[in-house]
Amino acid sequence: MPTLSDFIYTQFRLTIPIPTASFASKTVIITGANGGLGKEIVTHTVRLGASKVILGCRSKSRGDEAKHAIESTLQCNPEILEVWEVDLESEVSIKSFVNKVNELPRLDVVIHNAGIQGQKFKRVYGTERTLAINSIGTFLLAFQVIPKLKETARLYRVTPHMTFVGSALYDVAKFPEDHGGDIFDWYAEESRMSGMNQ
């Protein structure tokens, strides 16, 4: 478990290196791209020269707002950014998104940034919504874009990348190791809903 000094160090003293590698000719997908960290990732990826950056957003209108804000800030070619709707709570939405991905000429980078912090209990994929979206939905999407990443590697002789944005809150979550059953069943009980532990 992190200590107070760990928290202070990571929040105020730690210097994270800013990526400088060229993204020229690369196609990048970033989920959860319409705000916060996702929007900043999109902005920096465009600065690094990506030829196509796809903002994967649950809300097309909020994605379009982010797209226009980034274009205004960077004065970049509007054809670089595209907004595609994807809701990790819906298998149909994920499949539709993957179908569009499969039509791309190439896919070099996927950054899975989408996630929620649920406050109210709801079942999705047979378990609690936060766990379903942040884990199950994310991996349903991830597994289905791997073939496109492999195809890009083969055709363009490059090394594609896939990464997942997470949180250090996993270190403070309370989950009894001896719950004695399936983790998804355990979290599917409304009485166990706790925002910090999802």
The Cα–Cα gap between 117 and 140 comes to 19
- 113-160 tens-digit pLDDT: 998 777 777 767 777 777 778 888 899 999 999 999 999 999 999 999
Letter string b/e over residues 132-158, b meaning 16 or more CB atoms within 10 A of that residue's CB: bbbbbbbebbeebbeebbebbeeeeee
Domains of the chain: 19-197 (3.40.50.720)
- Residue-wise pLDDT for 39-94, tens only, equals 999 999 999 999 999 999 999 999 999 999 999 999 999 999 999 999 999 999 99
Considering only CA atoms, which of 113, 115, 82, 114 is closest in space to residue 100?
82
Task: Tokens for 145, please give them.
Answer: 């874009």
CB 139 within 8 A of CB 161: no
